Amino acid sequence: MTFSCDFSFATQFRGGGEKSLIEKKMVDEEILRLLKDHSSGFLSGEEISRRLKVTRAAIWKRVKHLRTLGYEIEASTRTGYRLIRSPDLLTPSEVRPLLKTKWMGRSIHHFHSMDSTNSVAYQLALEGAEEGEVVVAESQKKGRGRLGRKWYSPPLTNLYLSVILRPEIPPQQASLITLMAAVATATAIHKFSGLQPMIKWPNDILLRNRKVAGLLNEIHSEMDRIHFVVLGIGVNLNMDEKMFSKEIRGLATSLKREMGQSVSRKAFLQTLLEELEIWYEIFLKEGASPVLKAWRERAQIQGRPVKVTSFGEVLSGTAIDVDSDGALILEMKKGEQKRVVAGDIEYREMPKFK
Ligand code: BT5
């Protein structure tokens, strides 16, 4: 099992304090695990104290802390503790029991608040974290999009996830990982909501032409070898329209907005991690073609008039396809073809949504 401490708190506990914070988190996770295992009744403080080898007073302190996080825990001096209700947090103890994956998300690093899940995952990967380890945060202070853009990341509403992968592919094929992740995210949204998301090259997922999710993949590689990829995925889940800033209000949406009801964040995370495992394994075993096929079905880009901004250059043309490395192929006015490896796309005619 992997437990993680919350950097935003950890920084306040420097000089020996960080260790105790990790220990506290471990105790919290263990208390919750024990209470969940005894969901039918009370578990005595003495029993918890014996199993975790911490004092009963310390347990009471942690229970009070867990209540501040939204856990409803009944306490009685005679019978002990009983978990009545858990909040929709993305902690390992909430998410792991739901997961049916073999390896994806088996190790979850959870944070209440942090700068960017991608930055922490990158650091963990540099330190040797394994494929499938994930970082989730309840909020991000410096959520990142591509090219230094911001990802709006308010607390306890959405999903901010980074996944560490170590694919044995050449760096020029890294874009395929982005396409694979886009397919997995769109499939997860479809399975979860019944809605039909569209993929917009290279990294946006749209519902009714508004952005519901964005992907930011960062790689660490040599000339001919990828060391790791950090797959950053932000999905708007329970965000209301008024929560979006003015600039993106007309361009963004959330699952709650499209489905007309709040969604369980941990249930969505479960679906997403399962789809990521499925699609990554398909990619490793069968190569790019099934991923590209699924991507084309969801993107419906072929023959669409588009404007692409790539490295400061604006190109207008007709999208032909994506190639086997995930680059966009454009046909320009005079019939010549251009290969675009990175950029932002604008549809000159809005696609019809289902
Ligand atoms: C993206 O960039 O779409 C990638 C977003 C990736 C976010 C995840 S969250 C977990 C992980 N940790 C991070 O720090 N990042 C990743 P890009 O294509 O550059 O789009 C950014 C643009 O989307 C912004 O300039 C806004 O216009 C818009 N935007 C910002 N926040 C949004 C939101 N919550 N929902 C929809 N659109 C948003």
233 alpha carbon – ligand 1 mean position (Å): 9
214 alpha carbon – ligand 1 mean position (Å): 5
Average pLDDT of the residues in 243-264: 95
- Residue-level pLDDT at 7: 32
Report residue 14's pLDDT band, with 50, 70 and 90 as the boundaries.
very low
Q: Which residue's CA lies nearest to atom 10 of ligand 1?
A: 160
C-beta of 343 in contact with ligand 1 (< 6 A) = no
Tell me: the pLDDT tens digits for 289-313?
999 999 999 998 889 999 999 988 9
The whole-angstrom separation of Cα 61 and Cα 153 is 30
Tell me: the pLDDT tens digits for 328-337?
999 998 899 9
Tell me: the pLDDT tens digits for 185-205?
999 999 999 999 999 998 999
- Residue-level pLDDT at 353: 52
In sequence order, which residues have a C-beta less than 8 Å from that of residue 73 and are 6 or more positions away?
35, 63, 66, 67, 81, 82, 83, 84
- Residue-level pLDDT at 22: 74
Average pLDDT of the residues in 321-327: 90
211 alpha carbon – ligand 1 mean position (Å): 9
Report cis status (omega within 30 of 0) of the bond before 92. Answer: no
Tell me: the pLDDT tens digits for 226-252?
999 999 999 999 999 899 999 999 999
The whole-angstrom separation of Cα 165 and Cα 177 is 9
Report residue 2's pLDDT band, with 50, 70 and 90 as the boundaries.
very low
Report residue 1's pLDDT band, with 50, 70 and 90 as the boundaries.
very low
Residue 3 has pLDDT above 90, yes or no: no
C-beta of 117 in contact with ligand 1 (< 6 A) = yes
Question: Which strand (E) or helix (H) includes residue 76?
Answer: strand 72-76
Question: Which strand (E) or helix (H) includes residue 59?
Answer: helix 56-68
Report residue 25's pLDDT band, with 50, 70 and 90 as the boundaries.
confident
User: Do the strands 226-235 and 204-207 form a parallel or antiparallel pair, or are they unpaired?
Assistant: unpaired
C-beta of 215 in contact with ligand 1 (< 6 A) = yes
Average pLDDT of the residues in 100-107: 96
Token digits of residue 216: 């930011």
292 beta partners: none
**Ligand 1 pocket test, candidate residues 117, 150, 151, most atoms within 8 A of CB:** 151
Token digits of residue 347: 């549809």
